[in-house]
Amino acid sequence: MKRAAAELKVGQAAIVERIVGSDEISRRILEMGVTPGVEILCLGAAPLGDPLEFELRGYRLSLRKSEAQHIEVQLIEGSEDAPLG
Amino acid sequence: MPGSSTRTIRVALVGNPNTGKSTLFTALAGVRQRVGNYPGVTVEKKTGHMRHAGHSFELIDLPGTYSLAPRSPDEMVTVDVLLGRRGNVAPPDVVLSIVDASNLERNLYLVSQVLALGLPMVIALNMVDLARERQMEIDVAGLAERLGVPVVAVQANRRTGLKELQTALAAAASGGETSAAPVRENPFPASFQQHATELGAWLNERLPAPLPPFLVERLLLDGGGYLESELLDGLAQEGAERLRVARESLAAAGMPVPAVEAMARYDWIARTLQGVARRPSGHTRTTSDRIDAVLTHKVWGTLIFGLTMATLFTSIFVLAAPLMNVIDSAVGGLASLVEAGMAEGALQSLLVNGVIGGVGAVVVFLPQILILFMFIAVLEDCGYMARAAFLMDRLMAGVGLSGKSFIPLLSSFACAVPGIMATRVIENRRDRFATILIAPLMSCSARLPVYVILIGAFVPARYFLGGIVGLQGLVLLGMYAVGVVVAIGVAWGLKKSILRGETPPFVLELPTYKMPSLRTVGFRMAERGWSFLARAGTVIFAVTIVVWALSYYPRSEDRVAAELEARRAALAGHAAALAEFDSSENLAYLRASLHQRYSLLGRAGQWIEPAVRPLGWDWRIGCAVIASFPAREVVMGVLGVIYNLGSDVDVGAESDQHRLQAQLRAARWDDTGEPVYNLPVALSIMVFFALCAQCAATLAVIRRETNSWRWPTFTFAYMTILAYVGALVTYQVASRLLL
């Protein structure tokens, strides 16, 4: 199922399909390694609900919800059931 | 010695943030570093020297960056230095790329861009211990072979692998076998390269000097980037059109800009790492992850953050105070020594009040700077700094800033000088400037004595809610709130006007936690302290001398003598009063007070009285306010002189404080005989102090950090206007409501 990375729940993993837009934010997201085909895992959000924390390519990246909205992903079904630890 | 030469090998150090780049730089170049600015931009130029096996190296530390896609003149500096386009300086002989082994894929993105420049390169593979902990396997020799450049495993914080690194750098620079690299693979698809070549050919027919192929690619890739705005001006409509057509046909061929670059380079990285580096698949839970789970937790994370910030804040406040007192008394002691040992006169006054006072005014900031940067260095080195920005971002985004502005602004409540120096963590120029411009509005520790004395003297000590909430405390809190509320408004206004632009990306790496290194922390403190003394200290010192001159000259001994005589005559017949008048102490105070009144500064105070009258002030307050423009903490001393208490009023001492408060209550208008001070006047003065940029040190640091006089001038102007209007409104409203 297609969705934006901003809509992932804690513990859900997804495959990046596409980065929407060509502004500075999209460029930065791409440079940080969020490219089509890469797996990203939603680790959680800051106490006030924004920004979000993701894991990809073996490191951690924090994006605002509005930024994660630029990332179109395909959920890996059943990934939320897998234990985080 | 083979390869020994007298020529200095120039090495440029590049790398991502959080890779230990500054630690490696210090480990190689030692503490003797030269810091300057590149002209016209806010980028700091840091160079150092090292020697190894008969070779002499010059190290150039370039700003940490994730990518070589310049969006601003500041970001263009790195590209220009590497391409030898900055001034008449040739490209570096070798590029030293520092790479975080525990985050190899992402770090190789920048390496891939730097390789495209075609310079000899050596890679320093840092944090191999961390990579091992993350169960990553890296075949260093295999990686070097794939990349076609030497790779040296180092641990910058433990200073291991440095000798090998220096040997590799010397070999690469002298064109040894290692730099005979195979032709570097261009990661872009052939049809992209075709477009770039065509564009380059077209450009080079029209440009005065040929554009390096790397920059042609950048022009094609970076829509809205720095090069586009820089080059297309000269090429007008046709250039923009060609660029648009090229990008469109790339998009049509499945290579949309800017995604094509990331896709091509990360594909190249995947191919390069295949079989030479492996990270465990899936999510592995390390110690760092467990720490992070607590530190970013909704409840615990917030609580620990609050405690950390409270500790940081109170430390700058409380720990610095005794050190500042030591400096104050040392300066005071030296001053009285000189005063006693010299004949009275201009030279004595210059030495005591100008030179020694000026040095004191500079050095007194050091404790706060050193303590703040100790905290910042520890927080940065252990990886918590990024979490602080993560936790606070939502709050700061409301003002149009980001979480990275939080610590600089919090620190500014103690002192704006270290606070402004701490804004370097903010990469976005507009956010950084907005933070710098509002930092002086945070009520710093130098404003506190003004608040305390005026509140103590004029705000009634009433208590509510069974004595828990006091009116005096509320007014004090109100003064802090005035600064914050106005700062929010100013930040909002700046981001809508002169600092307007797209919302900059937050996109923040959350690095792995590690133990902070004492060396790194100690070095950062020393570096910041020295940088303040050398660059801002000179300006502060100069200002102090100028102000001394303004309050010393012209020396009208005759007028002072005449005035004293007139006052004595008025007391004729009152023996007791006359005796008190003639005490040497009283005469000295009176003389100082009169000299101040007849000095340029004193005259300015009287001259501006019509302007400050609507604020409820008399000329004495006006004079004290003008005198405190270079440093607001002097205001109580100036008021002390004006009200004949002597210049060494120690506002910390209870008795002096009460004496000054009594004097303020007793002050009368010359014409009506009404008391000068009442609650509205006190409030008006406090609001003025809360909003005004009365601090030469802050302005000097803004000049230093923005590399231009424009911004300190702007800060001074806007804050003075705000302070005047704020005090005016406060007085006019309060005097109608309260009197």
Write the DSSP assignment of B581-642 as a string of letters: HTSHHHHHHHHHHHHHHHSHHHHHHHHTHHHHGGGT--HHHHHHHHHTSSBGGGHHHHHHHH
Same domain, B57 and B132: yes
Q: What is the pLDDT of residues B209-234, one digit of tens each?
A: 889 999 999 999 998 888 888 877 76
Residue B438 backbone dihedrals phi, psi, to 5 degrees: -95, -15
Gap from A33 CA to chain B (nearest CA, Å): 6
Give CA–CA dist B731/B508, Å, rounded: 46
Q: Which pLDDT belongs to residue B721?
A: 96
- For A33, the closest of B69, B266, B292 (CB atoms) is B266
Gap from B163 CA to chain A (nearest CA, Å): 30
Same domain, B154 and B128: yes
Query: How many domains are contained in chain B?
Result: 2
Please give the helix or strand (H or E) that residue B40 lies within, else none: none
Q: Report the chain B residue with the minimal C-alpha distance to residue A11.
A: B283
Q: Both tokens of residue B201?
A: 């050919």
Same domain, B122 and B82: yes
Last residue of a domain, one of B254, B278, B305: B254
Whether the CB-CB separation of A24 and A15 falls below 8 Å is answered with no
Whether the CB-CB separation of A58 and B279 falls below 8 Å is answered with yes
Task: Evaluate whether residue B164 is within a structural domain.
Answer: yes
- pTM for the structure as a whole: 0.84
Task: Evaluate whether residue B677 is within a structural domain.
Answer: no
Q: Which pLDDT belongs to residue B448?
A: 81
Same domain, B221 and B162: no
Task: Evaluate whether residue B211 is within a structural domain.
Answer: yes
- CATH number of the CATH domain containing B131: 3.40.50.300
Q: Which pLDDT belongs to residue B102?
A: 92
| Alpha-carbon distance values, B371 to B358, B367, B374 (Å) | 22, 6, 5
| Domain limits for position A72 | 2-81
| Residue B506 with chain A: CB contacts under 8 Å | 51, 62-64, 67
Looking at this protein, which amino acid is placed at residue B714? Answer: F
Q: Which pLDDT belongs to residue B534?
A: 78
Task: Evaluate whether residue B173 is within a structural domain.
Answer: yes
Whether the CB-CB separation of B249 and B259 falls below 8 Å is answered with no
Give CA–CA dist A50/A56, Å, rounded: 19
Assign B643 to helix, strand or coil. Answer: coil
Question: Cβ separation of B509 and A38 shorter than 8 Å?
Answer: no
Task: Evaluate whether residue B66 is within a structural domain.
Answer: yes
| Domain limits for position B13 | 8-179
Whether the CB-CB separation of B445 and B631 falls below 8 Å is answered with no
Residues lower than pLDDT 50 in chain B? 1-4, 177-180, 646-647
Q: Which pLDDT belongs to residue A85?
A: 41
Last residue of a domain, one of B206, B237, B254: B254
Whether the CB-CB separation of A53 and B295 falls below 8 Å is answered with no
Which residues pair with residue B47 across a beta bridge? B34, B60
**Half-sphere exposure of residue B308: CA atoms within 13 angstroms, side-chain side:** 18
SS (H, E, C) B283-309: CCCCHHHHHHHHHCCCCHHHHHHHHHH
What percentage of chain A's residues is helix, strand, coil (to nearest 5)?
Answer: 20, 40, 40
Which residues pair with residue B138 across a beta bridge? B277
Same domain, B175 and B194: no
Helices and strands (DSSP H and E) totals, chain B: 35, 12
Same domain, B162 and B212: no
Q: Which pLDDT belongs to residue A4?
A: 95
Q: What is the pLDDT of residues B429-479, one digit of tens each?
A: 899 999 999 999 998 878 887 888 888 888 888 888 777 778 888 898 899
Give CA–CA dist B27/B41, Å, rounded: 27
Whether the CB-CB separation of A17 and A70 falls below 8 Å is answered with no
Same domain, B54 and B147: yes
Would you say the ipTM is above 0.90?
yes
Task: Evaluate whether residue B61 is within a structural domain.
Answer: yes
Same domain, B172 and B43: yes
Q: What is the pLDDT of residues A62-77, one digit of tens each?
A: 999 999 999 999 999 8
Same domain, B92 and B133: yes
Q: Report the chain B residue with the minimal C-alpha distance to residue A19.
A: B259
Surface of B (255-314) touching A: CB under 8 A? 256-259, 261-263, 266, 279, 283, 285, 292, 296-299, 301-302
Q: Both tokens of residue B626?
A: 């003008």
Surface of A (1-20) touching B: CB under 8 A? 18-19
Query: How many domains are contained in chain A?
Result: 1
Q: Which residues contact B438 (CB under 8 A, 6 or more apart)?
A: B409, B487, B490, B491, B494
Same domain, B90 and B227: no
Same domain, B119 and B162: yes
Give CA–CA dist B327/B373, Å, rounded: 19
- CATH number of the CATH domain containing A61: 2.30.30.90
Same domain, B26 and B169: yes
**Dihedral (CA of B139, B158, B509, B95) sign:** negative
Whether the CB-CB separation of B619 and B634 falls below 8 Å is answered with no
Using CB atoms within 10 Å of the CB of residue B555, give its burial: 0 to 12 exposed, 13 to 18 middle, 19+ buried: middle
